[in-house]
Structure 1
Amino acid sequence: QSLQRINQAIETIENNANLQNFINDLKSKNGICHIMGLISDGGVHSHQKHISALANKISQRGIKVVIHAFLDGRDTLLNSGKRCIQEFTESIKENDIRIATVSGRYYAMDRDNRWERTIEAYEAIAFAKAPRYDDAVSLIDENYQNNITDEFIRPAIIGDYQGIKPEDGLLLANFRADRMIQLASICLGKAGYTEVAKFSSILSMMQYKADLKIPYLFPPESFANTLGQIIEDNKLRQLRIAETEKYAHVTFFFNCGREEPFSGEERILIPSPKVKTYDLQPKMSAFELTEELVKKIHSQEFALIVVNYANPDMVGHTGNIKAAEQAVLAVDDCLAKVLSVVKEVGNTALIVTADHGNVECMFDEENNTPHTAHTLNKVPFIISCENLKLRDGKLSDIAPTILQLLGLKKPNEMTGSSLIV
């Protein structure tokens, strides 16, 4: 939704009041604009066309622009970064814009409190503390020659870049919040990291987190009568449970960008394992999560429990098919335990579904490379209730189905229909 929203607005973004204030501040102080974002055409966390449009419009106002380019290789092909950087460079060549640093998203976009990764990216951006290369393509080529793919390229300085100065401004250009919060927190001195570069102004594409108090280009959209809201309105209790990597998905994202819990909403965070990549521990924290989940099902306190098993997505992103098999087997074992408890408790339905594919496609035959990105394959909708007939449908039909199971009325705002026939 954010992708389409920005696509429609980006060509007239110069009329945005917060962007105008940002530009005016930079012009008055003769500062440089530092744009940080994922140079990728994946469209999951950002889009390189948004970043080039912003850079060009700001540069055309007489402001020097430098780009801190994060590389993908996770929601895209492993080695698509070189092509994306070349396309991006071509799109900004008419203006005073250059790439200042390059970093794999593993460092710049961590969301699992691996602060040492975020700090390494930040120190390159803020203080030019990193190895130096003549240009971004030669850096990427060297990494490819050493079998290092886009996501894992260590932060590096390009050319003679010297860091952030007090008169400069920062523009954080990813539209998805979860993988920008740590970097934004360090920039603002809110992460316990003492050596922070001074800057004049800051702006983000979207609101990342309310208490960061960063001005943004696109305000949060308001959604009425979400599933969580309906549960609250009927004075029922609900539980959200996931390990670290997917905690935001069952809370912030599931609640349509709402940070605070609903009344009667309990949240449980299970720490994800501290490994470099999850193919090293494909079980992740699934069994620890299941242990807590089983207790909560036994309690019979909740009308709705939303749980996310991270393994198929997070291990799927590694491109390691052997690890992916172990990840799926682990989740299968966990679901067997959950189903057993659901049957034991009674009057309870287990629904298994997904919002996108990944682990079912682990190899890209066309390019002869591991496949690490999401897919557009149809996803399952499995329900444990007997004597129910289901139809095929779409993701927006799931909430109405849950409401029907709970005997609650579907609000007008929900455009889908129950999958129960």
Structure 2
Amino acid sequence: MVEALKKNPNWKKRKGPVVLVIMDGVGYGKYKEGDAVADSKMNHLDAITAKSPHTKLKAHGKAVGLPSDDDMGNSEVGHNAMGCGRVFNQGAALVSKSIETGAMFQGQAWKEIVENAKKSGGAVHFIGLFSDGNVHSHLDHLKAMIKQAKKEGVKKVRIHTLFDGRDVGETSALEYIDPFEAFLKEQSDGSFDARIASGGGRMWITMDRYGADWSMVERGWAVHVHGEGRQFKNAREAVETYRKEIPGIIDQDLKEFVVAENGPTGTPAPIGAIEDGDSVVYFNFRGDRSLEITAAFEEEKFDKFDRGRRPKVCYAGMMEYDGDAHVPKRYLVSPPSIDKTMGEYLAASGVRTLAISETQKYGHVTYFFNGNRTGKFDEKLEDFVEIKSDVVPFEQRPWMKCADIADQVMEAIPSGKYDFIRLNFPNGDMVGHTGVYQAVVCSMEAMDLQIGRIAKVVEGAGGVLVITADHGNSDDMYEHDKKTGAVSLKPDGTPKAKTSHSLNPVPCIIYDPAGGNEYPHKAGEGDLNEGLGISSIAATCIQLLGFIPPVDYDRSVLKM
């Protein structure tokens, strides 16, 4: 439990609420070509920026707890940082350190995974995102576990690959498959058999989140567990075949496949169906897209789809994906212990809060913002609102539910029910990941309309509007040559789309129409503290609410 925040006698609390708008995936682009944010007509955002104090915040790498500044930020760590006001080492860094020190392999969970497979004579199955994007997983972690399994006497390993094309190049699957197959060949010998057994694109199988589309998990379950799906002799053949059959398909959307070979009767059979006595490791360290497949493996009462044969396995996640519900029951690395979040302080101080987004980012403004905590700190003071997302490709509905979100926020602002409102517009991230430039521009302009509507209501209510983002994405929609900065082109001469996040800074804009002399000038860069990360958002909002931020919080952007 935390103590209530102390009121700041030098700050005149505003009549209306503080409204935090998180423009998911919207940064300041490094390159003119491919910056869909700059290329969009963001008239309302531009007008607000022109008359408000504003600055740029770091939203990647060490500024959000990732191992290095070469690591792109993501929505999970971004909302963690904004919500807790400090920087904690995150999943990627924690897993890498655990492997480096050997702590993972000395832990009880790993020992149980290995001993179970050795005792039954079964396989250890690894399921997870097959890339080095370092947002949900990293192939180095998988390789280390395979080597250790062999070292400890496991005889059989099967890998179930979820192709990325989102945190890495959109058609880079073969760049990972070929060297990984070579690695497996090096490891395999007469006593150890390690092979890729199944897979598909991350947005087609297994990696759903927030219950948006359980059919993805159902397809993954059929492929990974039952070995049911279109059969190929290897992963490369599957990728090449689907690319020929579905022109323009990118890795995240690749259809499911099963690797099969002729059995004793000459009939092709899957090489990696999961059987009783096997062990399973879901090697993604990020929680949001790990909870549903974990539920399918662990929950006794499960009604999302018919699991059919449910094998009796020893299951472990890379990390604990839900600290409150303690899911999964067994995990290899302990997650960051995030305490004293902004939400907890506000609840202790009697601040009435609304958190709202659509399904795709609802968990980010609630669970992740509150330090990976499910539920509320105070049921009487907090309201969480989820607006159901459309289950369609995002490029087909690039406006998503931003108008619906704005409608509810615009009712809440003048209602007098809330002191602090936080919302997430998912457009820049979810549409940005599609790589469809025109759709991204549409999504930005649709979001801008809603920001304009909200700003007008904030002004009328005498409130404060804080506009920021959790990471970049839509600001960097083309692949660029790292040395020259030139746009990378496809064989047909068109720009090669980039579907991953960027390393670019994000906005921080303080629109305070009721403010007096709290800022050096009415607007402009330099009126706020510079060189900060998005973890400074917490202290900033606390100050705007009329309180003194906790002493261990990262510095506010406000010069006061």
Q: TM-score when scaled to structure 2? A: 0.72
Q: 1:38 aligns with which of 102, 109, 129?
A: 129
Q: What SS class does the counterpart of residue 77 from structure 1 fall into?
A: coil
Q: Structure 2: how far apart are the matches of 1:191 and 1:54?
A: 32
Percent of aligned positions that are identical: 30
Q: 1:412 to 1:391 in 2, by over 3 A?
A: closer
* Residue correspondence of structure 1 range 180-329 to structure 2 within 5 A: 180-189=290-299, 190-194=302-306, 195-209=308-322, 210=325, 212-263=327-378, 264-275=381-392, 277-329=393-445
Deviation at 1:344, TM superposition (A): 0.9
Aligned to 2:265: none
Q: Which residue of 2 aligns with 1:402?
A: 541
Given candidates 67, 70, 73, the residue that maps to 2:159 is: 67
Matches of 2:309 and 2:362, distance apart in 1: 28
Aligned pair in 2 of structure 1 residues 384, 415: CA closer, same or farther (>3 Å)? closer
Q: Is the 8 A contact 1:185 1:191 kept in 2?
A: no
Q: Distance in 1 between matches of 2:175 and 2:397?
A: 31
Query: Which sections of structure 1, spanning at least 5 residues, go unmatched?
Result: none
1:90 maps to 2:182: yes
Partner of 2:145: 54
Q: Deviations over 1:377-400 (max 9, x none)?
A: 111101111553313222121111
**Matched residues in 1 for 2:435 and 2:475: separation?**
11
Q: What is the CA RMSD across the aligned residues, in angstroms? A: 1.7
Whole-Å separation in 2 of the counterparts to 1:394 and 1:37: 30
Corresponding residue for residue 385 of structure 1: 512
SS class of match (1:158): strand
Contact 2:316/2:328, CA 8 A, preserved across alignment: no
Q: Relative CO higher for 1 or 2, CA cutoff 8 Å, sep ≥ 6?
A: 2
| 1:151 partnered with 2:246 | no
Residue 109 (1) aligns with residue 236 (2): no
Distance 1:411 1:296 in 2: 28
Task: Confirm or deny: 8 A CA contact 1:164 1:199 kept in the other structure.
Answer: no
Pair 196,243 (structure 1): closer, same or farther in 2 beyond 3 Å: farther
Q: Which residue of 2 aligns with 1:77?
A: 169
| 1:212 CA drift (Å) | 4.2
**Selected match of 1:355 from 428, 450, 470:** 470
Secondary structure of the corresponding residue to residue 363 of structure 1: coil
Looking at structure 1, the residues matched to 436 and 535 of structure 2 have their Cα atoms a distance apart, in angstroms, of 31
Kept in 2, the 8 Å contact 1:100–1:157? The answer is yes
The answer on 1:15 being equivalent to 2:15 is no
One-letter code aligned to 2:224: I
1:126 aligned residue: 225
1:177 aligns with 287
- Letter of the aligned partner of 2:362 in structure 1? Y
> What is the number of residues matched between the two proteins?
419
How far off its partner does 1:242 sit? 0.5
Identify the residue that residue 413 of structure 1 maps to in structure 2.
Answer: 552
**Distance across 1 between alignment mates of 2:108 and 2:551:** 33
Mapped contact 2:96–2:141 kept (Cα < 8 A): yes
- Structure 1 residue 403 displacement after superposition: 1.3
Amino acid at match of 1:333: L
Amino acid at match of 1:18: A
Choose 1 or 2 for highest CA Rg.
Answer: 2
Q: Give the secondary structure class of the aligned counterpart of 1:395.
A: coil
Q: What residue number does 2:235 align with?
A: 136
Q: How far off its partner does 1:326 sit?
A: 0.9
Specify the code of the residue in structure 1 equivalent to 2:418: F
Give the Cα–Cα distance (whole angstroms) in 1 for the partners of residues 363 and 167 of structure 2: 18
Corresponding residue SS for 1:294: helix
Shift, 1:332, TM fit: 0.4
For residues 226-272 of structure 1, what are the alpha-carbon distances to aligned partners after superposition, in whole Å with 9 as ceiling and x for unaligned?
A: 11111012121211100000011111111111112111221000001
Q: Which runs of 5+ in 2 are unaligned?
A: 1-89, 262-270, 482-487, 490-495, 520-526
Matched AA of 1:285: K
